[in-house]
Every structure is written in C-alpha cells, then in structure tokens.
Chain A
C-alpha cells in the first residue's frame, strides 16, 4: 500500500509538467495581452510595448517558459501581473471560502442524498421513488444562478432570515456569522449534488439489493435496516464515493457562478478574473493547483476503495 501511494505521488510529477507546458502554451498562443489591459484606453502602442518588455512578455516563449519552470522548481508560483502579489498568497487568501463551501455542500448533500437514494432504491417503483427521482431531475435542470436568486429573494430580501451575500470566516469571525453566510450558497449548490448523489445511490443500491448475499442476509432474519446499511449500502459505496470525490473536485475548481451570485471571494472567481485580465501567472498557478487537487483527490478516492471493499488491494 505504501509503495503504491509513493508510486502514485511520483506519477504526479510528469503529469504536472505536461499540465504546466500545456497551460503555458495555451495562454501564450491565445489572443489577448495583459500589457494592453494595464496600459488602458489612453496608452499609445509605444506604451503597451514598453509595458510588455517590463513584464518580460516580449521575450521568446521558450525563455519565458524556462524562467517560469525555474521558479516552480523553487516552489514559487510567480507574481500577479496586476496586483503584484505572489500567486501563492492570492490562492491562500481564497482557499478557505472555497474549501469550506465545498465541505458544507458535500456534507449536506451526502447527509440528504444517501438516505434519499437508499430509500428510493428500497421502495423502487413506488411514489417515494418517483418523488426522489422528480427532485433529482429538477435539481439537474434548474440553473444554479436561478435557484440562488430565488433563495436570496425569498429568504434574504423578503423573510430577512439570512444575509444576501458575503463570506465570514469561522476562525476569525465566529461560527454564527459563518453559518449565516454559508447557508444560502450551500443550499444552492447542494441541490445539484443531492440530485447527482441520490441518483447514483439509488442505482447502486438497487443493483446490490438483487445480489445473493442480500437475499442470504434477509433469510438469516436480519432487519431490513441492517440489510440496507451493512450489506447493501456498504457494497454500493464505491461508485457513490467516486461521485462524491468528483463532486469535491468540481466544487473546488468550478463554482464561479455561485461565488459570483453570493459574492464569495473564492478560487473560482479568482481564476475567472485572471482569465478576463490575462493575468498569466495567476491562471498558470491556479490550473497547476487545481490539477494537483484533482490528482490528490483521485488518489484518496482510490485508497478509500480498499477500506470499503476488502477485495480491492493495491
């Protein structure tokens, strides 16, 4: 197992190098120029060129890539062209809201979706199953921003129960303000993940419920609750865990709309702003970071399989 983990971690290195090269070339070959954005409307072409030179953007791409790679080896993700702040510091500023939003969303989604999906599977074909599936289809179909605005309109503007926007850190501002501000975005994001996880849970549990060992457990006189929990759900867990893992990765890298609607200063918005301004070091640093998170999550998911299913060994 340890050898497997070390091997997987070492395998991340060539993957990261390929990602770095790909991202770097994509950015340099796509249209847009940060120097032109910085220079603004009043700048002459001469000004733009001087800024390009100052930023090192006039150098050959190979030289630029080598310099960046040299920085990366030393653990330096570079410095934002616009804010002049280290990319690592910008990521550190934004990582907490994103991570905690991902955590609350996944926890809430799993808490609601797994029992719902299991119940739907247990009562497959009944009205309970249909209601759960109806909710799942609805959850997939409603765009996040629509749901977000509706929740803000009802719960914040009309009922005045929760704040409209913003993020409060539980570490510096207390758990109360944190929960007040994270509830609406969590609810908004959870709907789609509840739909996704509930469907996956239902499908997996239905499949498992038809297995011989479930019939055996029932014939031994075990209660239905135990059959569902110990035999069905545990054996159905591998695909569910995979979906949850992918969900976490998506939540860390791609909740731009939710972050915008609820004005949460997270990583999604950081990457969007950087792309619009062509802030190359931020885009490069973030994509590398996201790649690393994806690789790490995949590793953790793979390792969790062996805990859930003793037949899987590395």
Chain B
C-alpha cells in the first residue's frame, strides 16, 4: 500500500518500465486503428453472383467488389468508369473502348480486354438490356490487352446506357476464367477489380458479410456522382450485418452498435428521427414504383377494355396510404417512367389519374364482362404488397368485378406467376410488385415488354408497343428518345398493360458520424466515412 501511494520502490519502477512501451504501443495502435463501418443492409446476401440473380442485394455486393466500363451519374447519363477513352465510327457501327491504366483485379492480375469481352458476353446472356444489345452485336473482340472493339449489325442508340446500366443485372467486369462460367450456373470465385475486397472466409450467409479496402484500386479523378466518378474507399472495412427483425435493427442503430441502416421501415423512421444522434433522409431520388400486373392471356384480363376499366378504378393515394403510410415517403406519379427522370411525361395517363369508381363501373359495363372471377395473388409476408392486393380487391369489387383473393407467401407467388395455365389449374389473373425507379427508367425495361415470348409475367402482346420500343432503342438524340418513350407510354396505357400505383421512397438512417453519402437509386459505400 505504502509503495503504491507514497514511495517509489524498485518494483514500481520496474512495473513502470514495462508499462510505458506497452502504453506507447497501445497509443500507436489507436492512431492506426482500422476504420470500420457497420451497415444493416436491406436484405440478406444469399448469393454472390450478380449476373446469376437479379436480387438487389447481390447487385449491391457486385458494386462493392466489381467495377464497370461505364456508370450512371446523378443525371442518369452514362459516364466512363473503367474506360479511359472511346470512339464511335461515323456510321455508328464500330465502338472502340480503351481501358484506364492501372486497373487490377484483387488477385493482382491486370484487367484486360479479354476479361471485358467474357464478362459482357455472360451478362448479355442473362440481362434483358444485355440480350437486346447482343441482338445487334456482330462481333465483340479484344485486339490488345487494353482495347475492346464492339461491332454492331445496325445502329443502336443504347450502347452506353446498356453497358452503363445502374441496376440489375449490372455488367460487372470479372476475370475471364470466372466470366466464362455458364450464365445459368453460379460463379464460385469472387474476384473483382472494385474498391473493396470480399472476405470469403468471413461470410456467414444470413448474418455477416465483410469487405476490406482494396489498396491497389485506382479511382477516377472526377468527383463522385451516383455510380460514376472516383470510387474512394474511405474506411478500411465495411461489415454488412443482416437483421431479420426491423425493431432490433432500429434498437442497434440507436444504441450505436451499427452506423448505417439502409432501409428502415417507414413506420420506424419517425422514432429514429427523434434521436438527436441519428439522421433520417431519403437518399434514393427515384424511389420505387408500385405495379399491379394483369395476366393478359386469361379472361377477364385478356380484353384490353376490361384491363382499362380495372385501371380506372385504381387510385394511387389509396394504395400508397395503405401500403406505405406516412405521406412524407410517397407521391403520386402517373408517368410510367419515374417522376423526376428525363423521360417522365403524362401522355395517356388520365386513365390512371382519375381513380373514379363510377367511371370504371360504366366502362366495365360496356365490355360485356361476364362475372369471371379475378384471382389476385396476395403475398401476405410482404406488407406493402399485401396491402396493395387488399386495396385492389376492394377497388375492383366496387367497380363490379368478382374478386377472389388468394393468400400465399412471396416464394409461392414467384413460382405461380410463371404458370400460364388456366386459373383452375394454378393460373392467376393479377399480382402486385414494385420496381425500383432505375429499373423502369426507360422503355427497354422488361416491365414494358409487348412480346409474350420474351416478355414479363402477364405476357402482354402488342406489336405496336414493340415497334415503339424498337424506335426508342434506335433513337440517338435525347429529343428523339423522349418522343419514342412518350409513344411507348401512350401504347402502354392504351392496352392497359399494368396499373401504376405511385412512387414511394425508403429512407436511410445513420449515426451522425457517418459522412459522404452518395445520392443514388443504388446504395454505394465508397466515399462514405465514419468520423
């Protein structure tokens, strides 16, 4: 006791001598401590191949570890990312891309033109926009290590929009040996050239994903702008920690156990916003678009007039209030392209904008509808879509339809919607979903297809619609594109392809020490830091 408080003893001196270097080491390690950002992603990362699956969480994973030739900026224009320079021949048929210097994969190998050719080829076999692009590609070659030459059979106005598309499936560049995997089979190696490295041995599906900063990544010089610009990893490690329970996720953020919550439920947002240490804001300018899909092949919705009558009964405000709730996170939008994007227009939209039950009733009476029941698949495990289904059932009943709601989980719905059988044999008449804004930003989205063979569930068939979409793909100037997109929209409403249920936004929530969020329809983690 005495030695401890009043007198310096030999033992105390020895202890101090041992402790001082330890303390110094501790201080030094604190100075160089790795920075970690803990994130609650919007979903569990179940699969690591962003070409094999369209899941948004796999796409976000793709952005962490892969890079793209072009990338969409804030104004939805494709900007070069891995590409340094590019040229187009006068006839618009030959596109030559030269890669930037210093591009490297995480295993140290340089990125070559052959890697690009193999990656684009695999993507082109799976992605809708990729399939259309490869439909007009004559040859795709890598004449040298840094150059890729794409030769088209006919002019195509969406080359850069396709290889720079922002959402699933994104044409990520992988090493050739990985990209040569069958497009319908999963890759088994996860090597990219993006700003973060995936730590395979730390991946616990259903729980944790760990990424570390890729020290050899060479970012562009331009400032960050959505997916474009310099991708600077500002933290050493990003940990995605999946929370199956929204309340626990909220509690963890409030307790400071995580830094960033990608998709809190709108009903939890006010609680989070009341915490002075937390910021809640909408980071995705496009949001998501609610969608009521008809089966065009089965009665009663094999008749365009019946579909239009059903659309007339739909009122966006009712759907959004029931499905989303807080009006701070939704707005009506009667353009088939997200409001606030270059192709937004109101052609033909008065059909949807009325939400008039009486007009719908009158329109239905004129069709000779015989009372055939409308089977609506209701996914009860997804609250927003379950609410949309209930609203539709009510609206259609009010308009004079006979409605049969069939409750099921989303997995069952996704398998059943692929069936083209009659209703009695497993078929269906309607289901609801949503598209993120970036996926329906132009007429090339599969949501707007008028070709039943290559088209989306519901199998709309309309030659005029396909002609209008083709015209869009061949348009070169923005004005031409706008005109073509307007025609597509007019046609979509004319045939009553689908009901548009409004635009809604999921906020993000984060501790105030998180800086550098990128405004974008897709969640990126470069440029973000934890201070």
Contact = CB atoms under 8 A, between A and B. Distances in A.
Interface of A: 31-48, 50-51, 53-54, 80, 82-85, 90, 93-94, 149, 152-153, 156-157, 160, 163-166, 260-263, 265, 269-270, 272-273, 276-278
A163 B255 contact: yes
Contact of A54 (B182, B188, B410): B182
7 contacts: A32-B412, A41-B435, A42-B446, A85-B205, A156-B255, A261-B245, A263-B249
B54 A41 contact: yes
The 9 A-B pairs at the shortest CB distance, nearest first, are namely A33-B415, A40-B54, A265-B207, A36-B414, A82-B46, A32-B411, A83-B205, A36-B415, A31-B412
A44 B182 contact: no
Contacts of B274: none
A265 B248 CA distance: 14
B409 A32 contact: yes
Given A39-B53, A90-B205, A84 B456 contact: no
B248 A37 contact: no
Contacts of A51: 184
B247 A149 contact: yes
Contacts of A48: 418
A50 to B, nearest CB: 5
A153 B247 CA distance: 11
A311 to B, nearest CB: 47
A129 B456 CA distance: 66
Interface of B: 44, 46-48, 52-55, 126, 128, 168-169, 182, 184-186, 188, 204-208, 241, 243-245, 247-249, 251-252, 254-255, 257, 381, 408-412, 414-418, 420, 433, 435, 439, 446, 453-457
A39 B249 CA distance: 28
Given A38-B53, A272-B244, 8 more contacts: A37-B415, A41-B435, A44-B455, A54-B184, A152-B248, A166-B241, A273-B46, A273-B206
B47 A40 contact: no
The residue in A33, A44, A90, A156 that gathers the most chain B C-beta atoms within 10 A of its C-beta is A44
Contacts of A265: 204, 206-208
Given A50-B184, A152-B251, A45 B418 contact: yes
B251 A156 contact: yes
Contacts of B435: 41
B248 A31 contact: no
Nearest to A54: B184
A50 B208 CA distance: 30
A187 B106 CA distance: 45
The residue in A41, A83, A152, A265 that gathers the most chain B C-beta atoms within 10 A of its C-beta is A41
Contacts of A276: 381, 409-411
A40 B55 contact: yes
B206 A277 contact: no
Contacts of B457: 45
Nearest to B254: A157
Contacts of B415: 31-33, 35-37
A157 B257 contact: no
Contacts of B186: 84
A95 B126 CA distance: 37
A42 B168 contact: yes
B456 to A, nearest CB: 7
Given A39-B54, A40-B55, A45-B418, A260 B185 contact: no
